[in-house]
Amino acid sequence: MPGGPARRRRPYVVIGSAIVLVAAVLLGYVALFGRPAGVDAAQERTMRASIISYLEQRHWRGVLEARRSKQKVRWICADRLIEVSGDGENYKVGLHALCQEFTAVDGSLVKGSGESSPKLATVTSPDRPVEVLRVEQPPDGSGYGSWVRSNFSWAGVAELRRIQRSLPADLEATMLTKARSAFGLPDDAPVRR
């Protein structure tokens, strides 16, 4: 019989093959171009640590700072790297940062204001002490999508979307561990708002 079961499955095989090919190209691109030549894992960690420190020290006045002005309030951030590109002099580091303000009250960690957003940091070469030159983030509202597309590669946009769909629980866990440590609280200290 012409057009039997094998012929009807052919479009599905072609579509499946195309999906596998696109996934392989995307993974290859990220593996080859996710970190520029000359930037090793240690240099990448140094750049990220400098960016996180910069973000933690330059935040807006949050609800805890406004309500608990006599208590020590700190911003704590954790990040997920998206991509790094550079020319040897300066590097652009794309990441997704989760930042929140914290304080400690009666043995508990108290959360305040926070944000979770993509960032594009421009830093000096990791061959010398890393200096954060600037950090940009997308505007709220209608300009968000176009900012992301103009500041990240297509693979970076795909990775950002993957991260945002399922913000890794370990990102928040990392932030909470850092916050407990910053306030001298035990690892199992309760967290409240």
Domain range annotation of the chain? 1-33, 38-192
Q: For residue 126, name the pLDDT band (cuts at 50, 70, 90).
A: confident
Q: Give the residue, 66 or 90, on which the prediction is more confident.
A: 90
Residue 34, pLDDT > 60, answer no
Q: Phi and psi of 183, rounded to 5°?
A: -100, 10
Are 126 and 43 in contact by the 8 Å Cβ rule? The answer is yes
With 0.85 as the threshold, say if the pTM is over it: no
**Segment (H or E) for 31:** helix 5-33
Residue 70, pLDDT > 80, answer no
Q: For residue 30, name the pLDDT band (cuts at 50, 70, 90).
A: very low
What is the predicted pLDDT for the residue at 35?
Answer: 46
What's the CA gap between 192 and 185, in Å, rounded?
Answer: 14
Residues 6+ apart with CB under 8 A from 111: 100, 101, 102, 191, 192, 193
Angle in degrees, 0-180, between the axes of helices 154-165 and 5-33, rounded to the nearest 10: 100
Residues 6+ apart with CB under 8 A from 16: none
Q: What is the pLDDT of residues 128-148, one digit of tens each?
A: 789 999 999 999 999 999 999
Q: Provide DSSP, 77-105.
A: EEEEEEEEEE-SSEEEEEEEEEEEEEEEE
Lowest mean pLDDT among 95-104, 120-129, 137-146, 171-180: 120-129
